[in-house]
Amino acid sequence: MATPSTVSLITPTGLSYQQPTGLFINNQFVGGLNGRTIDVINPATEEKICSVSEARENDVDRAVAAARKALNGPWKLATPTERSQYLYKLVTLMEESLEKLAAVESMDNGKPINSARGDIGEAIGCLRYYAGWADKIEGRVIDTSPQHFNYTRREPIGVCGQIIPWNFPLMMWAWKIGPAIACGNTVVIKTAEMTPLSALVAAELIMQAGFPPGVINIITGYGDIAGSALSRHMDVDKVAFTGSTAVGRKILKDAANSNLKKVTLELGGKSPNIVFNDANLDQAVRWIHNGVFSNMGQNCCAGSRIYVQSGIYDVFVQKLKEHVQQLVIGPPEDEKTTHGAQVSKTQLERILGYVESGKKAGARVETGGKRVDRPGCFMEPTIFSGVSSDMEIVREEIFGPVGVIAKFETVDEIVEASNDTTYGLASGIHTENLKTAIEMANKIKAGTVWVNQYNGVHWQLPFGGFKQSGIGRELGEEALFNYTQTKTVSVNLGIPVV
Ligand code: NAP
Ligand code: MG
């Protein structure tokens, strides 16, 4: 039966369901204490879908208190095997709800339904991976002398505040809660104001999976209010953030000015994607295309700085343009659509602003460059050539379907150009020459180097940024080190004090 904090909706794919709209605290959906709400918009139609509760500081306090109580109560008593079982149960329930979660994600974010299905699959894969880790988090025995017994314990950090963006809403949610829960922490996670719906649907599954109340709390709210309250909170032990570098900087300051909570940051990028003369041309064109246009370019690791070696430059540009024409721009619910809406009008306008800036600076539009002539926030896939390294469109993260393409001659030149950025999240190299690939991989300053592929993010592989693209790593075993703290225990077996 519908509760007061639930609305009946029909997704554009034709699925009827009950959408929770409250804050998820202590396994209950509750309204915000101040009674305010946030309108949720479908960017493909620019129509309102529903409203969700807006968490203010006092709601953040409630959620943190719930997480603290769970941490000191039932969650402390849960065995690693039990933590694993809760996560596996959640995985099963998410698999059963995959179509619903994908339909909601596509409606809320504007991404094609097929991409949304892929994202939910990724979220499930990530949670399954961390379910497997929960009972394999171990300390060590370290021998210093026959008179001592030393060992380390990997203890949870405590209450984790987690703040996520709108580009992969449920996937980012899974990246955050998976390792945190596997390690025995409790969480308060804030969704992006533009895409709160899928996490609230998943909240119902958390309840069904039997997690004790307060272990996972989900709040919807604005970044500068609820997000900032989390990062300033004196009873939050760690904050994990994914989003822009500008906000990451604020979070680090908030942590420093409050209780020096641990901080991990996954931030922006302006990643180079490099094609050598000897690359498999057809494959390289496809990977470059995928690198810059996947998820309508709203991808932190987007390979948006494309560099092509001079011997194949002209033919490459031509082939890339032909490939771009094959993108099917259309309603996200249409199975054939491969290029959906940008997340919001604000983002669309921001992207168009960059396109103007590129034109003004003298760059040439090879393809695209305009808003698509149809209702909704649709942007043409766009490629600029004739760019120079000082242009805004080459230096700044556009977070839309806009790539810049430039020519290069030598390895030394391309290493320098690739690293001429404050970012260092990802990179791509396309060559059939193993020596070139390895040399480039060693010299590029980025957290991920993809060779003859792009966007190959996998839950088993650590992901994160060099330079101003972040602090710490998510995914893989490495994420577990960011959600545990090592305690060293040293036992004296009989040496008297001198
Ligand atoms: P954003 O403005 O940085 O927002 C990210 C999250 O932070 C949202 O939940 C936002 O809330 C919240 N926030 C905003 N101001 C805050 C504050 N003062 N204190 C605490 N939280 C605050 O980024 P976005 O526009 O959503 O996403 C795009 C950016 O994220 C891009 O720069 C992209 O590169 C980056 N990104 C990075 C990765 C990665 O893994 N490295 C992944 C995805 C995206 P609101 O929703 O209310 O604004
Ligand atoms: Mg939306």
Task: Flag whether pLDDT at 2 surpasses 60.
Answer: no
Q: How confident is the model at residue 490 (pLDDT cuts 50, 70, 90)?
A: very high
Measured by CA distance, the residue closest to atom 15 of ligand 1 is 223
Task: Flag whether pLDDT at 493 surpasses 70.
Answer: yes
C-alpha 197/C-alpha 19 separation (Å) is 7
pLDDT in tens, 18-64: 999 999 999 999 999 999 999 999 999 999 999 999 999 999 999 99
Mutation test of ligand 1: which of 242, 249, 344 has the most ligand atoms closer than 8 Å to its C-beta? Answer: 242
Pick from 436, 428, 421: which is nearest to 466 by CA?
421
pLDDT in tens, 112-170: 999 999 999 999 999 999 999 999 999 999 999 999 999 999 999 999 999 999 999 99
Dist. CA 138 → ligand 2 center (Å): 41
In 186-244, where does DSSP find H-type helix?
A: 197-209, 228-232
Quick one: fold of 6-267+473-485? Aldehyde Dehydrogenase; Chain A, domain 1 (3.40.605)
Task: Flag whether pLDDT at 3 surpasses 70.
Answer: no
Mutation test of ligand 1: which of 163, 175, 225, 247 has the most ligand atoms closer than 8 Å to its C-beta? Answer: 247
C-alpha 134/C-alpha 173 separation (Å) is 18
Which residues touch 391 (CB under 8 Å, ≥6 apart)? 357, 358, 361, 363, 404
| Ligand positioned closest to the Cα atom of 111 | 2
Measured by CA distance, the residue closest to atom 4 of ligand 1 is 243
Residues 185-203, mean pLDDT to the nearest whole number? 98
Report helix, strand or coil for 25: strand
Q: Which residues are tagged catalytic?
A: 266
Measured by CA distance, the residue closest to atom 30 of ligand 1 is 243
pLDDT in tens, 341-361: 999 999 999 999 999 999 999
* Range list for CATH 3.40.309.10 in the chain: 272-458
Q: Which CATH superfamily is domain 272-458 in?
A: Aldehyde Dehydrogenase; Chain A, domain 2 (3.40.309.10)
Q: How confident is the model at residue 4 (pLDDT cuts 50, 70, 90)?
A: low
C-alpha 85/C-alpha 309 separation (Å) is 51
In 338-472, where does DSSP find H-type helix?
A: 345-360, 392-395, 411-419, 434-443
* Range list for CATH 3.40.605.10 in the chain: 6-267+473-485
| Ligand positioned closest to the Cα atom of 250 | 1
Dist. CA 245 → ligand 1 center (Å): 8
Instruction: Read off the pTM.
Output: 0.97
Residues with CB under 6 Å of ligand 1 are 163-167, 190, 192-194, 222-224, 227-228, 231, 242-244, 247, 250-251, 266-269, 300, 397, 399, 425, 470
C-alpha 379/C-alpha 368 separation (Å) is 8
184: how many CB neighbours lie within 10 A of its CB?
23
pLDDT in tens, 226-244: 999 999 999 999 999 999 9
Measured by CA distance, the residue closest to atom 31 of ligand 1 is 244
C-alpha 134/C-alpha 203 separation (Å) is 20
| Ligand positioned closest to the Cα atom of 222 | 1
